[in-house]
Amino acid sequence: MDEVYELEWIFAPTDYFEDVFDLACEHGSFNMSSGKIKLCISPEKYPSDHRLRIQLHEELNARFLAAQVLAHKPYTLGKPNVSRLYPDGRRDVWAFPEGISLTISCGSGDFVVADSEGNVIRDTKQERINHRIRFSQLAALYISDPVANSLLRSYSAAVNDPLNELIHLYEIRDALSRHFNGELAAITAIGITSSQWSRVGQLANSEPLSQGRHRGKQLGVLREATHEELSGARQIARLMIEGYLLYLEVKSQ
């Protein structure tokens, strides 16, 4: 065995990405298993002050933020501990007692469609996993973009602050409008419809919803948003975020 530094993260829920797979990154590959992620780096590429550890954590957390947009459920991702493994079996360990806290929930029904010979035509779980991987890769690639970072963190706030969910989802629309200097330019750039754009504004600003932005003006008539209203707003917000990440990808080509 060659000498390596091994970084290990603990995350929950253990099925947050639904399957076990590797996520490629500049320094190797994040190897994901049930509740754990490992990354091995050669000593010459790992600085002794461990500053790379924080950079890698931010890159990995960007992937979780993207997965959260699609799953709409909280997660925990502890910052990594580091081990130096030697060819003779010795191990040096650095422990960093710190982490990010949140919680859990949710599930979904899947189906597989096959032809008469057993060839899979459609596997909804695999499609969802592939989409999540692709989306998380885009998020990790563009997390340093201020707008992309802001959009992902606003969605994370919507998940973890449900009493103000529509306020946080509206922040996504607002950030895009400011960045593109207007609604029409934003709609065109990210590839959504004007009715989808307007729907987020209607729910956040006009409907008398307790999760909305102007509830102080509608005391006495406020109601809780329905599951359909929240689900619809979340889906549009996801389309906005994904549309912006794809816009960045095209722009970079």
- pLDDT tens-place string over residues 93-150: 876 655 433 332 333 444 445 545 555 555 677 777 777 888 888 999 999 999 999 9
Q: Which residue has the higher pLDDT, 89 or 189?
A: 189
The torsion angles phi and psi of 126, rounded to 5 degrees, stand at -65, -35
Q: Which helix (H) or strand (E) holds 224?
A: none
- pLDDT score of 3 more than 70: yes
Q: CB–CB of 20/32 below 8 Å? A: yes
pLDDT over 90, % of the chain: 56
Chain Cα centroid distance, residue 232: 18
Amino acid in the structure at residue 243: G
| Residue extents of the structural domains in the chain | 4-94, 145-252
pLDDT in tens, 51-96: 899 999 999 999 999 989 988 999 999 989 899 998 888 888 876 6
Count, residues in the chain: 253
Q: CB–CB of 61/100 below 8 Å? A: yes
Chain Cα centroid distance, residue 62: 6
Q: Which residues contact 56 (CB under 8 A, 6 or more apart)?
A: 7, 25, 27, 39, 80
